[in-house]
Structure 1
Amino acid sequence: MKPILPLIAGLAAALFTAGAAAQSAADYPSKPVTLITPFAAGSGPDAVLRLVSDKLGRLWNQRVVVDNRPGGGGFIAIDQARRAAPDGYTLLQLDSEHVAALPHLYKSRNFVTLQHFDPVASLFRTPFFVAVASDSKWKNMSDLVAAAKSNPVSYGSWGVGSAGHLGAQQLESLAGVHMQHVPYREVSQLYANVGSGDVPWSFATIPSSQGVYKAGKLRYIAIAAPQRIPQMPDVPTMAEAGGPASLYVSSFVSLLTPKGVPPAIRARIHADVAKVIADPEIRARFDTFAFEPLAWSPEEIQRQAEAKSKVYGELVRRGNISLE
C-alpha cells in the first residue's frame, strides 16, 4: 500500500493547486494593475489603452495604470515587463511588429517575443493609407509606381522595421521597384515633411497624420487594404488606385502577459478585455481612428503573429534590414 500514499499526496497537491488558481482568478485583481506600453503618450495606441484602462478599472474596482516606456525599438517596455512577476498584475501592450518583426531585426539578441510573453487579449487592427502632399503630381498608385520605375523615389516611415517601412518593402517587391527609405524619429516631423514635399510619400494612419491632413497639406491616394473604409469612403483601395491588388498593410495591437501567469487569470483578463472592447464608448473612439476592434482568442493572436513573422522574415532578409 505504500506506493499509493505518494500518489494520493500528489493528487491532493494538484487539487489544492487547481483550487488555489481558481480562487486567485475569482479574486483577481486584488491590487492595482499596470499596463506597460512602448507607445508614446498621445499616440493612437496610447489613447485606446487609456480608455481600456479606465473601463477595466471600473470593472475590476481597482486602479489600472498606464506606464509609457517608448524608445529602444520597443525593448524598453519589453524589458520592463519581463522583470515583472508573472501574476497578471503587469500587462504589456505590443503591436504586431513588436511581436513578429523584432526577432528578425535583432538576430544577435536571440529574442523571440512569444517565447517570453503569452498573448492574452486583442485590442484592434489599423489600416494604412498612402499619404502624399496635397499638391503632389501623383494622383494614384499608378503614378507613384511609374515614377519609382523611371526615377529614384524616397519614402518616409516612423522607423526601421516599422509597419510603414516593411509595408513599403512589400510594395517594392510586388511592384518590382526600389525606393530609398528615410526613417524618422518623430512621427509629427514625418508627416510635416510629407506635407511639404520634402519626402514624397509615406504610409499613414488616421490618428498619426490627421493634424497635417486636416490642415490641408496631405492627401491619401489609396488605402492598402482590400476594401474602402467608412471613415474615408472616397479613398480608393490599392487595387482601385492602380497598385498591387494583393498589398494589404495593417498592424494589430494586443495585450500580453509574462510567461507563467496562471491560465485561469489569463482567461479572466481575456474575457474582461473583450467585454470592455465591446463598450459603445470605446467602439465610437475606434471609429474616429479607423481602428477595427478585434475579438481574437489568444490562439488566434498567436496564429496571426506567426503569419506576420513569415512575411516579415522574408522582407527583412530580402532587404538586408537590421537594427543591430
Structure 2
Amino acid sequence: MPRVISIKAALAAAGIVGAMLATPAAAEFPEKGMTLIVAYGAGGGTDTTARMLASDLEETIGQPVTVQNVTGGGGGNGWGAIAAAEPDGYTIGYINIPNMYSGYLNPDMGREESLESFTPLMNHVTDYCVWAVKPDSPFQSVNDVVEAAKEGRVTITAHGAGGDDDLAIQRIAKMNDLDMAVVHNQSTADSKSQVLGGHVQVLGANVSEVADQHASGELRVIGVMAPERSGFLPDVPTFQEQGIDQVWSVSRGIAGPTGRPPEIAEAIMTALEATITSDAHRQAAEQLSLAPEIVKGPEYMDFLKSTEQEIKGLMGW
C-alpha cells in the first residue's frame, strides 16, 4: 500500500498551527501527479538519482511523480524551468551544487536566476568527484595525469563550464599550473563513450556514475576527491592520499520555485524526508552507489550561501 502523506498529516507532523489547515485546496495536496525536473540528460548521475527518488516518492504521496529532463545551457535551462514553474507545489527539481552557480554568477552566461529564484527544500545526496580512464590507459594515478599535463595538453571531460567536474579540474590546474583541455558534454553517458572510444583521455565524473564500471573493469578510477576512501570504491585512493589537496563533490538537492505557500513547502519536505529516510530508499540508493545525506531548512540555505561564496572566490566572479 502507498505510504500516502496528505498535507494535513504533513503539517501535523511538522507542528504547523491548525489555522493553516483552513484552506480546502491545500488540505488535499497533492491531488494530482508531480513533476521532478532534471537539468541533465538521461543516463547520468543526476537523472539516475532523480528516477530513484521519483519512484519512492510516488509510494509516499500516492500520486505519480514524472521525471522531466530539461537539458542545455550547462544545466541552466533545467534550473530556469524550475524557477519559472507555477509555485503550486506540483513542480520540483534538482539543483546541483556547485554547478548551478555558474549560470548566474558568471557574467558570460547571462542567466537571471539566483538562489532567491528558488525555495530550497533539502539536500538529497552528496556525490564525490572522480577521475577515471580506460583500462589500458597509461595513467595509473592522478599524479600521472598531472605530470603529463605539465608536459603537454591532457584532454578531460566535464559537464558545462562551472559544473562540479569543471571546477575541480580548474582548481587542480591552477594549483599545479597545468594545461588541460576540457571537453563539455550534456551527460555522463556521452563522456564515457568519448573516453572508452579513445577520443578523450580522462573522464571527470562522480562516484555513483562509475562505481559499477570500475568494479566490472570497463573503466578504471584513479582517484576520488573525498576526505576518505569511498565505501563504493574502497580500492581507489583519494586525491589527498596521492598528495593533491582536493575534496570536491556535487550536492544534489531538491527545490521548487519561489513564492509557494509555506504549508505546501512543509508538506513536500515532510514527504521527501519520509521517503529518503525509509529503509527501501536507502537500500535502493546503495545499489546505485549513493549515500543519502539530508540537510534541510535554514541549515540547507546556509550551506547553499556559503558554497556560493566559495565559488565566487575560486572563479573570481
1:35 aligned residue:
36
Instruction: Summarize deviations over 1:218-267 as a string: whole Å, max 9, x none.
Output: 2111111110011111001112123x22x111001111111111112212
1:290 paired with 2:252, answer no
Q: What are the superposed Cα offsets for residues 34-58 of structure 1, whole Å, 9 maximum, x if unpaired?
A: 2222232333322332332233222
- Give the Cα separation in 1 of the matches to 2:288 and 2:298: 26
The percentage of counterpart residues that share the same residue type is 26
The separation in 2 between residues aligned to 1:189 and 1:257, in whole angstroms, is 28
- 209-218 vs 298-307, which deviates more? 209-218
Structure 2: gaps of 5 or more residues: 1-16
* Partner SS, residue 240 of structure 1: helix
- Which one is further off, 204-213 or 179-188? 204-213
Over 3 Å counting, the alpha-carbon distance change for 1:200 and 1:67 in structure 2 is closer
CA distance, structure 2, for counterparts of residue 219 and residue 282 of structure 1: 28
SS at match of 2:301: helix
Question: 1:154–1:21: structure 2 CA closer, same or farther, 3 Å change rule?
Answer: farther
Distance 2:271 2:208 in 1: 26
1:109 to partner: Cα distance: 2.9
Gaps of 5+ in 1: 1-15, 319-324
SS in 1 for 2:267: helix
Note the C-alpha offset of 1:24: 5.5
Contact 2:38-2:93 within 8 A present in 1 as well = yes
Closer, same or farther: CA 123–177 of 1 in aligned 2, 3 Å: same
Aligned to 1:6: none
* CA distance in structure 1 between the aligned counterparts of 2:86 and 2:190, rounded to whole angstroms: 38
Residue 277 (structure 1) shift: 0.6
TM-score by length of 1: 0.82
How far apart are the structure 2 equivalents of 1:84 and 1:190? Answer: 30
The runs of 4+ residues in structure 1 deviating greater than 6 Å are none
Q: Which amino acid aligns with 2:286?
A: D
SS in 2 for 1:85: coil
Residue 47 of structure 2 aligns to a residue whose secondary structure is helix
| In structure 2, C-alpha distance between the alignment counterparts of 1:298 and 1:97, rounded to whole Å | 18
Q: CA RMSD in A?
A: 2.7
Q: Which shifted more, 132-141 or 271-280? A: 132-141
Amino acid in structure 2 at the alignment position of 1:270:
M
Paired residue secondary structure (2:98): helix
Tell me the residue number matched to 1:311: 310
The residue that corresponds to 2:56 in the other structure is: 55
Of 196-205 and 114-123, the range deviating more from structure 2:
196-205
Determine if contact 2:103/2:109 at 8 Å carries over to the other structure: no
Q: Which of 45-54 and 166-175 deviates more?
A: 45-54
**Residue identity opposite 1:30 in structure 2:** E
Matches within 5 A, 1:232-311: 232-242=233-243, 244-245=244-245, 247-311=246-310
Q: Distance in 2 between matches of 1:66 and 1:177?
A: 39
Residue aligning to 1:189: 190
Matches within 5 A, 1:65-144: 65-107=66-108, 109=110, 111-144=112-145
Q: Helix, strand or coil for the counterpart of 2:217?
A: coil
Per-residue CA shift, 1:174-197, capped at 9, x if unaligned? Answer: 333332222234533322332344
Over 3 Å counting, the alpha-carbon distance change for 1:24 and 1:59 in structure 2 is same
Secondary structure of 2:275's aligned partner: helix
The count of residues paired between Structure 1 and Structure 2 equals: 301
- Cα shift at 1:215: 6.0
Decide which structure has the larger Cα Rg and report it: 1
1:12 alignment counterpart: none
SS of equivalent to 2:294? coil
**1:182–1:47 Cα change, 3 Å:** closer
Matched AA of 1:252: S
Preserved CA contact (<8 Å) 2:103 2:110: no
Task: Find the aligned partners of 1:149 and 1:72 in 2 and give their Cα distance.
Answer: 31
Specify the code of the residue in structure 2 equivalent to 1:144. V
Counterpart residue identity of residue 206, structure 2: T
Do 2:72 and 2:186's aligned partners in 1 also have CA atoms closer than 8 Å? no
CA distance in 1, matches of 2:113, 2:22: 28
Q: TM-score when scaled to structure 2?
A: 0.83
Partner of 1:172: 173
Q: Is the contact made by 2:127 and 2:207 (CA closer than 8 Å) also made in structure 1?
A: no
